[in-house]
Structure 1
Amino acid sequence: MAEWLQIPGPLLLVGAGKMGGAMLDGWINLGLDPKSTYVIDPQPSPEMVASLEASGVTLNPTEMPMPAVIILAVKPQMADAVLPTLRSYIHQTLVISVMAGKTLATLEAGLPAGAAVVRAMPNTPAAVGRSITVLVANDKVAQSQREIADSLMAAVGEVAWLEDESLMDAVTAVSGSGPAYVFLLAETLTYAGLRAGLSADMAATLARATVAGAGELLHRTDIPPAVLRKNVTSPGGTTAAALDVLMADDGMEALMIKAVEAAAKRSRELGS
């Protein structure tokens, strides 16, 4: 992860919702100059307004200097309306889009000819510096701009680059949407604890700590998940009994494959 974040000019964030706000929090925490940071959001929440005012970031400026970087973090359905409004802000500007499904070709069509565009898929753990972001660039992105994109995303977690853009739908389905799957695990484990007789507070505490702790163990070791699972599982024990259910033919693996396929399909639909 980047230790200190600097970019060669102003940064404009278009859309400061869950993802945009998570990235911005991470960047500010790592030293991005708030006086050179601008946010455009037509319907800011009261929480967003208060957060930006506290950090010193300018919201919905009437005028601003030409940005070195523009981050597009609006919903993909808003792309057609938003892209034309940014044309006057783009001059040797790096455009980074985190809009699910919107291809490089679609973005290029809505921006001035020759625009340098990077497509990125981070996830919401960016707010705590634990995102994983996958990026792919068009052929107009200079090496120096590629390094800027890498630095911005490394400031909020791990970074990986693709050369084959067609894989971005799968990336979106696995890591972009993935935190929701983990939160659902914690949610359903809490409910199962309640059904087993635990109090609501105890079930929630155990589920949250277990999911977070297992995730941290994964983070701190290179041991494959399958080996970690086997290390917890004694033959004929309680964990084995539970895994017999979860690993049945219609169990977790089958459900997760269907879920990822559905998310990837939706990502392709959003890009069309």
Structure 2
Amino acid sequence: MALKVGFIGAGKIAQSLIKGFTNAGLTAPQHIIASASKNDVSDLEVIQKLGCTATTKNTAVVRQSDIAVLAVKPNIVPEVLAEIRDVLEPPKLLVSVAMGITLRKLESSCLENAHVVRVMPNTPCLVATGATAFASGRYASEEDCELTKSLFSSVGTCYQVPESYMDVITAISGSGPAYMFMTLEALSDAGVRHGLPRNLALKLAAQTMLGSAKMVLETGQHPAVMKGEVCSPAGCTIDAMHMLEKEGFRAALMNAVEAAYLRTREAGEE
């Protein structure tokens, strides 16, 4: 029996997950339904172009799906949950990818014994290289957790974690693609500045990032050790490392993660 997946919210993350799930063969477009407000015409059009059912009714998404993915902005989560509360009857699973919204808040807005899982995916799910973490609610079953892990493992890696980890995970892997894209842009800009064609500079930078990440994952070595192996005595790379340290490269990344983490915490408290 085909898995029916519903998305409440049809923005970028929902679109990435839809493409990822269908590309992975986990479900088919005709078994996916997604909702958006009447004002989000472009999102509704994208959903239709993907071959899925588009609607403006959130309750229709819940009724017509085996698993409902809550993919809306944090500030409208209470409004949406109030709307779908009576049709989201246990054991139907609610998967929330809403930034910062705690399991406690989700469960308190649903029917008693609601099956809820809080998930943080990222946009590389689109190309089956996503990094996802999830935490299960009080009444989520082992089968719910297995289904969540199966869904998100089909589009990358997926880890079950304590909920206390979720805000910083949001700041690292949820927001992380933006940090990587900015780094790639800067590297390709540097290549262009020194005479490389834009397309070549970008491809070299992207492949270098991809290969470096793969080395870390497959060797299990600490990045500091691997960095040291690239830095020859009196070579160009150690000069580059000195400049990055001088310019506060690592501190800037750590500060960026902290800013994202604090914003995630704020969103959960609003």
The reply to whether TM is greater than 0.5 is yes
- Listed one character per residue, the Cα deviations across residues 60-79 of structure 1 (whole Å, up to 9, x for unaligned) are 17656453211011121221
Alignment match, 2:151: 152
Deviation at 1:183, TM superposition (A): 0.7
Alignment match, 2:112: 113
| Alpha-carbon distance in 2 for matches of 1:36, 1:194 | 45
Alignment match, 2:93: 94
Correspondence list, 1:100-179, <5 A: 100-163=99-162, 165-179=163-177
| Alpha-carbon distance in 2 for matches of 1:136, 1:182 | 25
Deviation at 1:98, TM superposition (A): 0.6
Deviation at 1:227, TM superposition (A): 2.2
Deviation at 1:176, TM superposition (A): 0.8
Stretch of structure 1 that moved more, 102-111 or 218-227:
218-227
- Structure 2, unmatched stretches of 5+, are none
Q: Is the 8 A contact 1:66 1:91 kept in 2?
A: no
Distance 1:202 1:129, change over 3 A: closer
| Alpha-carbon distance in 2 for matches of 1:22, 1:186 | 21
| Alpha-carbon distance in 2 for matches of 1:242, 1:210 | 16
| Alpha-carbon distance in 2 for matches of 1:158, 1:24 | 16
Correspondence list, 1:250-265, <5 A: 251-265=248-262
Secondary structure of 2:221's counterpart equals coil
CA RMSD of aligned residues (A): 2.3
Amino acid at match of 2:267: L
Q: Is the 8 A contact 2:36 2:44 kept in 1?
A: no
| Alpha-carbon distance in 1 for matches of 2:80, 2:43 | 23
Which of residues 195, 201, 204 in structure 1 aligns to 2:202?
204
Deviation at 1:91, TM superposition (A): 1.6
Stretch of structure 1 that moved more, 54-63 or 127-136:
54-63
Which of residues 217, 232, 236 in structure 1 aligns to 2:230?
232
Number of residue equivalences: 263
Q: Is the 8 A contact 1:67 1:89 kept in 2?
A: no
Alignment match, 2:67: 69
| Alpha-carbon distance in 1 for matches of 2:197, 2:52 | 43
Amino acid at match of 2:73: K
Which of residues 12, 19, 25 in structure 1 aligns to 2:6?
12
- Listed one character per residue, the Cα deviations across residues 210-253 of structure 1 (whole Å, up to 9, x for unaligned) are 323333433443232222212211111000100011134x5222
Identity score, percent: 34
Distance 1:48 1:226, change over 3 A: farther
Distance 1:60 1:47, change over 3 A: closer
Alignment match, 1:27: 21
Stretch of structure 1 that moved more, 179-188 or 210-219:
210-219
Q: Is the 8 A contact 2:121 2:131 kept in 1?
A: yes
* Residue 263 (structure 2) pairs with residue 269 (structure 1): no
- Listed one character per residue, the Cα deviations across residues 171-197 of structure 1 (whole Å, up to 9, x for unaligned) are 111111111111110111122233334
| Alpha-carbon distance in 1 for matches of 2:131, 2:77 | 23
Alignment match, 1:80: 78
- Structure 1, unmatched stretches of 5+, are none
TM-score relative to the length of structure 1? 0.87
Distance 1:66 1:194, change over 3 A: closer
Q: Is the 8 A contact 1:11 1:38 kept in 2?
A: yes
Secondary structure of 2:95's counterpart equals strand
Deviation at 1:199, TM superposition (A): 4.2
Amino acid at match of 2:29: P
| Alpha-carbon distance in 1 for matches of 2:71, 2:32 | 15
Deviation at 1:166, TM superposition (A): 2.2
Distance 1:205 1:150, change over 3 A: closer
Secondary structure of 1:247's counterpart equals helix
Distance 1:45 1:188, change over 3 A: farther
- Listed one character per residue, the Cα deviations across residues 80-115 of structure 1 (whole Å, up to 9, x for unaligned) are 222122224312211010111111111122222221
Stretch of structure 1 that moved more, 105-114 or 124-133:
105-114
Secondary structure of 1:140's counterpart equals coil
| Alpha-carbon distance in 2 for matches of 1:27, 1:198 | 37
